[in-house]
Amino acid sequence: MNADGFAAGGARVGRVLDALLAMQRQSWEQGVASQAALDLGRDDLAFLMAESAVARQTPDGRLGGPDDNAVNGAACGEAALRAGFADAARRQLEFLLREAPRRPDGTICHVLGSSQVWADTVYMVVPFLALSGELDEAVRQVHGHREQLCRDGLYSAIAPDRPARWGGGNGWVVAGIARAIRLAPALGSTDLPGHAREVLDACLALRRDDGLFHDVLDDATTFRETNAAQMFAYAALTGVADGWLPDAYADAGRELLAAATGEVDGRGLVQNACGTPSFDRPGTSPEAQAFHLLATVAAERLGAHP
């Protein structure tokens, strides 16, 4: 499927994709962009993105280029596998399983040389582990991150240094679980669907009247933010389409996507997202562009179901 294949909004989808392709991208941004390309049916673009990530693979196996992060390159792993870069994907997997820094309980740390646990890591590693057949490790990572970060259904951004319940961090968690279950349906028989629903419910309870969220979900003094709504929309719509969320979540997903669509400008930029490169103020980002596409495809996919 490409932009012209959508029942509605094809021109908008094309503009959002064009804007995404024009943006500079770091390793995880390359990964989520390639996933959007895959879901759009643009295997040609996904191949080119994967090829670039492989060209920048570090000697230790991390895709997408050297930085201080242990996990971000794994977001490129799905496209690398789909594009036939099996050896590069194997090296990325081996890094996660054998070399990535971990807490004593086995939870992977986000940053090299640090014991920090980030909510973001769930999206970066769990879908790739699932696609690679490492289902026990995928579940283990969700459980470890849940233990370190989740209280009352909401995730803190970083343990121990950033306890704020960041909308983007919670979005990474529910979207990562949703994508993992889609890639490995056997995970639907674990406790991951129930946990994703628990987090999604806690987040949805904090929606603003305009359908979006504050950057820190439970702090009304933080700025109004767009991308969390797209991430929650993707998780809700994917969960209904894949049968692990009740049908009622489809309406919530469509409402969230509609609210975010109101923030897309005439150039296809998703405005008022947590903005790159510092992600501490409203702006634009490759991940917001990609999640607009991912959520839109999820809505279209759901529309094909009874």
Share of residues in the chain with pLDDT > 70 (%): 96
> Any bridge partners for residue 162, and if so which?
158
Mean predicted confidence (pLDDT) in 252-271 = 98
Band of the pLDDT at 75, cuts 50, 70, 90? very high
> Any bridge partners for residue 283, and if so which?
273
Evaluate if residue 30 carries a pLDDT over 70. Answer: yes
Evaluate if residue 8 carries a pLDDT over 80. Answer: no
Burial level of 155, CB count in 10 A (0-12/13-18/19+)? buried
Distance CA 26, CA 168 (A): 17
Phi, psi (degrees; rounded to nearest 5) at 115: -100, 15
The pLDDT, as a whole number, for residue 306 is: 39
Helix, strand, or coil (residue 152): coil
Distance CA 62, CA 205 (A): 37
Distance CA 64, CA 234 (A): 24
Band of the pLDDT at 9, cuts 50, 70, 90? confident
CB 155 within 8 A of CB 173: yes
Distance CA 128, CA 50 (A): 14
Mean predicted confidence (pLDDT) in 183-196 = 98
Domain count for the chain, please give it: 1
Respond yes or no on whether the N-terminal peptide bond of residue 104 is cis (omega within 30° of 0): no
Average pLDDT of the chain, as a whole number: 96
Does any domain span residue 183? Answer: yes
Band of the pLDDT at 7, cuts 50, 70, 90? low
Does any domain span residue 304? Answer: no
Does any domain span residue 254? Answer: yes
Does any domain span residue 218? Answer: yes
Distance CA 272, CA 54 (A): 32
Which tens digits make up the pLDDT trace of 99-128? 999 999 999 999 999 999 999 999 999 999
The pLDDT, as a whole number, for residue 10 is: 85
Does any domain span residue 77? Answer: yes
> Which residue's structure tokens are 């054998």?
98
Helix, strand, or coil (residue 159): strand
Q: What is the CATH number of the domain that holds 110?
A: 1.50.10.10
The pLDDT, as a whole number, for residue 4 is: 57
Q: Which domain holds residue 48?
A: 3-299
Does any domain span residue 61? Answer: yes
DSSP at 72: G
Q: How does DSSP assign 142-178, residue by residue? A: HHHHHHHHEETTEE-SEETTB-S-BHHHHHHHHHHHH
Q: Looking only at Cα atoms, what is the longest distance across the chain?
A: 50
Which tens digits make up the pLDDT trace of 219-252? 999 999 999 999 999 999 999 999 999 999 999 9
Which tens digits make up the pLDDT trace of 191-205? 999 999 999 999 999
pTM: 0.95
Mean predicted confidence (pLDDT) in 173-177 = 98
Evaluate if residue 253 carries a pLDDT over 60. Answer: yes
Does any domain span residue 305? Answer: no
